[in-house]
Amino acid sequence: SQQGEEDPQALSIQEGENATMNCSYKTSINNLQWYRQNSGRGLVHLILIRSNEREKHSGRLRVTLDTSKKSSSLLITASRAADTASYFCATDYRNQGGKLIFGQGTELSVKP
């Protein structure tokens, strides 16, 4: 299976704290993507990081990619209650004629 793994599965923090979620994958990738899903809703794209990139930022979000360790992390700084959601990484293996596979997600709860 090419499915990556995310940890932690669940994370509970206080408003203002930082939240870090990790994603590991198994073989070479084209890019790695992070998505957010609010309960009962569709998925919203957050950041895409390509295999030749090491770090990307978007507002309070910071994503890193370590291809030697086959891992990525998503950092949300100064979290807010509105950040409460599930966060998924998706690994893009299409450069190998492969697929775009999601991890099982991290459920983040930010308490006010």
Partner 1 sequence: DAGITQSPRYKITETGRQVTLMCHQTWSHSYMFWYRQDLGHGLRLIYYSAAADITDKGEVPDGYVVSRSKTENFPLTLESATRSQTSVYFCASSDWNSPLHFGNGTRLTVT
Contact positions vs partner 1 (CB under 8 A): 1, 3, 30-31, 33, 35, 41-45, 48, 50, 88, 90, 92, 94, 99-105
Q: Closest distance between partner 1 and the C-beta of residue 48, in Å?
A: 5
Contact (Cβ atoms closer than 8 angstroms) between residue 90 and residue 103: yes
Nearest to 76 by CA among 41, 39, 38, 46: 46
Nearest to 61 by CA among 37, 86, 84, 78: 78
Q: Closest distance between partner 1 and the C-beta of residue 80, in Å?
A: 23
| Strands, sheet with 71-76, edge to edge from the N-terminal-most edge strand | 5-7, 19-24, 71-76, 61-66, 55-58
Q: For residues 59 and 112, which CB has a smaller minimum distance to partner 1 in the complex?
A: 59
Q: Closest distance between partner 1 and the C-beta of residue 97, in Å?
A: 8
Give me 72's structure tokens.
Answer: 């990525």
Q: For residues 14 and 95, which CB has a smaller minimum distance to partner 1 in the complex?
A: 95
Q: For residues 17 and 101, which CB has a smaller minimum distance to partner 1 in the complex?
A: 101
Q: Closest distance between partner 1 and the C-beta of residue 106, in Å?
A: 10
